[in-house]
Amino acid sequence: MSVDKQTSSAHGPKLAPLGIAALGVVFGDIGTSPLYTLKTVFALTEGTAAPHPLLGVLSLIVWTLIIVTSVKYVAVAMRVDNGGEGGILALMSLLGMKRRNRPAIVALGLFGAALIYGDGAITPAISVLSAFEGLQIAAPALSSYILPATVVILIGLFALQPLGTARIGRAFGPIMLVWFLTIGLLGLWGVAKHPSVLFAANPYYAADFLLHGGLLSFFVLGAVFLCVTGAEALYADMGHFGAGPIRLAWSTVVFPCLVLNYAGQTALVAEGVSTQQNIFFLLCPQPLLWPLIILSTVATIIASQSIITGAFSMTRQAIQLGWMPRLLIKQTSEEGYGQIYVGAVNWALMLVTVGLALAFKKSDNLASAYGIAVSATMLMTTVLLFIAMREIWHWSLVAAGALAGLFFIVDMSFFLANLTKVADGGYVPLLLAAIVYVVMFVWHRGIGAITRCLEQNPVPITAFFDQMSAEGIARVPGTAVFFTRALRDTPPIILWYVKHNRCLRQQVVALTVIVESVPYVGVEQRVTIEELAPMFSRVVAHYGFMQRIDISRLLKHVQTKLPALDLDDLVYFVGLETVISGRNKNGLPRWQAMLFAALERNAAQITDVFRLPPDKVFEIGRQIAI
């Protein structure tokens, strides 16, 4: 689900509907965390002699939600937007990712983005497993069907992605509103049984548990972190709805209902309920248990859908910014730019998610692998926020250091606690993130190496036309549009074409598409046109990383500036580059060159990415040694 950018700053009458819509897209992950968070925490603290274990744990959860989500993301991070867009890639771009003297910022942003893929694969598996585990209470005889049912739901979810979610997406918000109100009321019912748990609002209990809980409190932090694993989505999805609706939904619905539910679960444990079963479902009166299981399953499917959609959006951003190989992106609805489908990402996520569910079998086991990647991403976001405070807000070093320092201490504590999960499965998201990061790093380096290679031995435009005249090269009727990365001299693709075909069309456009490090570029800044020679023009098109590139519409605009351009008799010339490993000492290391060549072979062609008419495309094959 996506909302037009113009509505992202909605206020007044539009604020509440957008807030409800945001419930279904933004808060699915964090909203379903009560299904497994306290269950995981109490598995660690059961039988402990630590002071105030129940109030301490609940206080830790409440103040984690306040500091990490309410303060860091809702109050601070969402004030740092890149043209209305949020998320670690947008923040990286805002801080100048294209400046060569800032490789550390690029590395932080890219690895943070790669880590999100890692935990993104775990979210659907742990969420759906947790929902079905209510069957152990409602119908113990069906316990053996929990894993098969989870696998079927997950496969079905990914199989439906090519169809798009525009229609069912409209129902996501209202369903999640019902979900939050339900878990809030269940929590209130539990608190009524043991109201003393409300003392956990006092941060003393959290501090006391951390200071006197010994090594146990350190391990508990890793489990407590599960309550905020979806917090990064609030920032990343800001561009869909704007900060106002997300803040409204968080403060009036999500946060109160989450706190009430966690308090209610804690109250049950204080009453002596066993923690061997899923405490979340024990909150529910027996006659309403089956409806709750169904609602939980739907809520986890919605949460999983949000994660998948987020992965698609982040992939498109990375492709547009030149950090990932070109992949075919299908627009599944004309209602919003966010309604897309990326097949390669979808099926890769499905294989990993189903594999994780089959390998770990229970949500308790998956919880051991969950959180480490997101905690690392949050840590990197904090570092970038500190730089933003200094460079964008112009805060003093003391002020920026104090606030970012608080976030850093909290994030680092969670990250170190989550490191204890590495051997128990935490290596899975880290390994996935490392693979994604290497792909992004090598692809970007490879594109740079190709550009440098093609720009060797430049030929000035005047020299090129003088040579054409001297050799009697013919100019034939029609218009040729050459896609090129070159921004000066004669594009290499044109040199190569003329050398081998001994002709050139009457009208020539050297077209370069540049995706800027901002999400949107206005129409008035879209195109620069430079007539380099008679009937020979260089056109540079600028797009934001959240915009759809439409070559047909672009050329119609260019025609208004160049009336002689004949769009009815037009051929697109696209370089089809075959990369081989060269011996150039300034080129890529052999392993990077080989990996890039494999990525290039399997990347989508520009013809498909730009949706060019096949009958008007002429592909020029060239070998390039890097």
Look up the CATH number of the domain holding residue 128. 1.20.1740.10
111/62 same-domain check:
yes
601 is in which domain, residue-wise?
456-625
400/487 same-domain check:
no
Q: What's the Cα-to-Cα distance from 193 to each of 35, 137, 197, rounded to whole Å?
A: 20, 21, 10
**Could you tell me if residue 442 is inside a domain?**
no
**Could you tell me if residue 430 is inside a domain?**
no
395/513 same-domain check:
no
Q: From CA 235, how far away is CA 90, in angstroms rounded?
A: 10
414/486 same-domain check:
no
**Could you tell me if residue 211 is inside a domain?**
yes
410/552 same-domain check:
no
Is 535 a residue whose pLDDT tops 70? yes
Q: Which residue has the tokens 């006092």?
A: 202
515/385 same-domain check:
no
11-20, 491-500, 526-535: segment of lowest average pLDDT: 11-20
Q: From CA 31, how far away is CA 183, in angstroms rounded?
A: 9
Q: Which residues make beta-bridge pairs with 430?
A: none
Query: What total of structural domains would you count in the chain?
Result: 2
Is 577 a residue whose pLDDT tops 80? no
Q: Which of 420, 438, 473 is the last residue of a domain?
A: 420
Q: Which of 361, 393, 420 is the last residue of a domain?
A: 420
**Could you tell me if residue 435 is inside a domain?**
no
Q: Which residues make beta-bridge pairs with 331?
A: 340
192/100 same-domain check:
yes
393/460 same-domain check:
no
Q: What is the pLDDT of residues 2-48, one digit of tens each?
A: 333 433 344 455 778 888 888 888 898 899 999 989 888 888 876 55
Residues 118, 428 contacting (CB under 8 angstroms): yes
What's residue 8's pLDDT? 39
What's residue 353's pLDDT? 92
366/411 same-domain check:
yes
402/492 same-domain check:
no
CB proximity list for 183: less than 8 A, separation 6 or greater? 34, 257, 258, 260, 261
**Could you tell me if residue 66 is inside a domain?**
yes
Q: Which residues make beta-bridge pairs with 577?
A: 622
Query: What is the average pLDDT across 218-247?
Result: 86
pLDDT classification of 250: cutoffs 50, 70, 90: very high
**Could you tell me if residue 434 is inside a domain?**
no
Q: Which of 392, 420, 448 is the last residue of a domain?
A: 420
3-12, 50-59, 66-75, 282-291: segment of lowest average pLDDT: 3-12
**Could you tell me if residue 156 is inside a domain?**
yes
473/361 same-domain check:
no
Kindly state the percentage of the chain with pLDDT values over 70: 93
DSSP-H helix ranges across 361-460? 363-369, 372-391, 397-419, 427-454
**Could you tell me if residue 275 is inside a domain?**
yes
Q: What is the pLDDT of residues 258-285, one digit of tens each?
A: 999 999 999 998 888 877 778 899 898 8
508/406 same-domain check:
no
